[in-house]
Structure 1
Amino acid sequence: MEQQVKILAVDDRYENLLALNSILASPQYEIVSLQSGEEVLKYLLKESPDPIAVILMDVQMPGINGYETVELIKQRKSCQDIPIIFLTAISTSIEHVLKGYHVGSIDYLFKPVHPDLLRMKVDAFVKLHRYHQEIRNQRELLQLRTLELEETNCRLERAEAQLKEQNLLLEQWVEERTSELVDAHEKLMKSQEHFKKLFVSSPCPMAIRRLSDLSYLEINESWKQCTGYGEEVIGTCNSIRMEPSEPMGDQLIVHNVKVKFEMKSGEFRTALLSTEIIDIEDEKCLLLVAVDITENLRYESEMARLAQLNLVGEMAAGIAHEIRNPMTTIRGFLQLFRDGKRRLESEYIQIMLEELDRANDIITEYLSLAKNKRTHQQSEHLNRIIESLQPLIQAEAVMSGKHVQFLLVDCPELSLDDKEIRQLILNMCMNGLESMQTGGNLTVATHLDSEQVLLTISDEGAGIPEEHLEKLGRPFFTTKDHGTGLGLAICYSIAARHHATIDVKSDHQGTTFVIRFQIPAHALSVI
């Protein structure tokens, strides 16, 4: 359906406007009735002139007459092309008609106007208006298409420029890659040459076997000297009998696996074996590298034996020193009793019993260090054990004017021996309290770290000298005046029996012990 066009009917008499509306009544027209030149000018100022097909203008009107109104309309650029028809019943002289054409009208009709004539003229101007509007639309569409074409051309030009740039970059990239390939080939040749020199002159026994049938492709001089086998194995699949220290399954690639191998002479030696898959002339091969550690193991065994003897000597000296004191006291009393210089009184008996108990405690603590000591481990909550010891530790702290805080988080159950863990916690807490001055703070905390539960015991003491840190946990080593040197050693032994580790950090602001317990596999699944 065609869009309605507007027709402005301007007459100061209302009945004339009704007559024009009646003559031009049509669904294609929208008749806008105005009664003065001022109304026409106001209407054109606020409304777009595009939909206005024609203006029917009365000449004689109060205020601004028709001629003056048309002159003002034509001064506005957007309204210059609107066709205007003068309608008058008074100004019928040729001078008025010429004046009408002069000011800008395109027709001049006298009232009473013949309806059909007016209708035909208006229809003609409406068609002309629609034709001009269609031309404008086509012109705008053409301009739009022209802009789109220009934009497309610009994009094509940019794309062409980008393509040229990309082609240039591609050519540069090809040149660079070609140069890199040449360099890589040269480096590969040098690398192969270096590998060959390294293979031949390496002090480590090395062999290359084909991966397809495991036949020997090459062996170096060190391999020949170490195994006793020479060129006779090249091309064969005769494997040197090796016994790994742990099952290897079908693994081809291993690193530093300890193996025992039999030499051609029948002697057995030990080596660290590593393997790697390499390419030689487009063929997959297995490179074997062995490090003979037979002599190193012999030296290590001898050093370990000497270290054990030295440790036994130190422990024997410590035990002798600690037990000799109570034994000396008891021997002295017994000599006095034998010589009759003292009577056997209850207070002397009590002293001797206390000295015997002291010696027995030292022996008991020493036995606690045994690695093969039987433990009764079961699922326990570490926090529950700490909470059961909390009153005892708090009481000890209050008696010495110090403070203890417990920072415990939810932790999974661990496999623990309740009595041994109690002893470990008490020993470390008492050590921490003894190391601090009055007013110091001791902190006992637990938290989770990956697959471990961490027990942290921190004090605010003077710290442990750096030269003593490496000696911690050694039996009979102590910095206390009256200590046996077995407390921390027992803690380390308990930790070892629980497959736990102890880390120590110490400075002038205090010492922190961190005991790391492994979380059982069944507990990890529910964390």
Structure 2
Amino acid sequence: MMTDYAATNPTACEYETFFQLSSEIMVMLDLDLRVIKSNLAFQRLTGFGAEQACSLPDFLHPDDRATSRRRWHEAAQEERFTIDERLLTASGAIAQIRWQAALSPDGSRLYATGSLIPSFDAFTNNQWHRSSLDQALDCFGIYSAVRDDSQRIVDFRIEYVNQSAATLTGVPQHAQIGRQLSEIYPLTSERMLNTYRQVIETGNVVLIEGLPYADERMTGVLDLLHFKFGDGFAISWRNVASQKAAEAKLADSNKKFSCAFHNAPTINFIMDVKSGIILEANHNFQEITQYPADTMIGQPISELGLWEDMSEFRRATAQILEYGPTHNYPITFLRAGTEPRVGLLVGEYITTDGSDHILFIMNDITDLRDAENRLTQMDKYQMLGSMAASIAHEVRNPMTTVKGFIQLFRQQKDLEAYHSRLTLISSELERASSIITEYLSLASNKVTEKARHRLDDLIRYMLPLLEADAIEHNIALNLVLEEVPPLLMNENEIRQLLLNLFRNAVEAMQGGGELSILTYVEQGGPVLEVRDQGTGIDQKVLGSIFTPFFTTKAHGTGLGLAVCRSIAERHGATIRAHARPDGTSFKVMFGTGVWDLRLSPATS
């Protein structure tokens, strides 16, 4: 009848062709599971003839035949349903098949399509599969569901375990295969049994990591991967206890390194070799260089303006890559992009996450160098002070006598022709006396009386003298005097310091310009700054200008700035010169320890 309908209906004919040629197994059943029609895929698999009268249970595994009709009838209460069964093939093998079925609209027939799913027998009988898995390092096993009459899973049959699983559990393969899980592993937790059931019923892949396990055969930490296999599941697992211990040790090591890296008093940073980008930097990097973290991390180091000479840093990097770790490589870096400071660089090549990096550790030795230089200067000042004190009396007495006779000669009319020469001799004697006075000022152990004064008040008191000198040299004097805390100072010495710096600035400004004197508070302490618009100081000699007898002037003594430094140090202050684009700046920075509001006021 169906053939006649298909012959007279083109659409039905097309459906018949599709039905027969489909690779899916297709059958039409009555409610007693008798085969009404089947396609070629079903016939080839089972050896069933198209005209042969039979029922579906005839092709089922003997263990499934008794319950087949009941399971189909129960499932058919739903409009669409799924049933897994084992079919006997024409070759006598067993094929696991999953039926997707539905009732006909009138409820008199069942339409079913089936697809083959992996078979335990097909796997375990495949020698190549077994041999490959037996050589695998990871443990592997296949387990089939053991069901009761109501199709509820009550246990699992061990279909296969590889050699690694047998070795890890201590149970040989032949002692496991074919046995039920509850016999071999009676301590399996209910949690794991539920996981196995979930995998079989839902078909979901389940990964469990870091599962602690212990029984009489083995202890460890397991990573397990479960997936559905036929009417059961397959599982791949490994004991990661050693790996977890190594990871914990590595994490502890990384924590210690991070603590040392970020809390060290040195300047620490990690740079990517290929891009030159700063990957990480410690707090001291930001604190000392004054580069904020958000503008530093992830930026190429060449764009930060960190180094006074970028080529010097590139040479240090090349040396590390070619010859290995470098130690105490001297290099000049810039604080806040302007202030040069001296560092000793240590660098070592490291590899992290497959990338090439360099770990840099830099020690800022600027203050140490300054301290060493100050000690050297103090030794010189001590020597000069001692020399000056011992010879001052012996030299000044004859000089006073000579000066007195010069004054007498200048008053005699018969010596008027020599008046200009006598005046020159007198001025040179004054100059010699001034040099002796400066020698005495270099003595670091010089005892001076100190009282409380304000820097800004002292400068205002000296203003008429300073203005007169500035006007004479066509210089505009600019005062920017913020109120600063009182200082414990020797007024005469601080006035001498200011005059020396002022006159140095005036001498540097031969073409006129603006000379600024400033007072302000920086890092908690008062600061005196003198800025000029002169010719500037060569960077090469900037570090030597405070050395006694060092001078760049044709007729200078080389004592003026040395005296300034000696006075500053006697007052617990530091003095530094900074080259500016439009001249030079001298800053005298008084520490917080040299001023105290509780000190008694200066006496009149």
Range of TM-score over shorter length? 0.3 to 0.5
More helix by share: 1
Q: TM-score, normalised by structure 2?
A: 0.33
More strand by share: 2
Larger radius of gyration: 1
Q: TM-score, normalised by structure 1?
A: 0.37
Structure with more contact order per residue of length (Cα contacts < 8 Å, sep ≥ 6)? 1
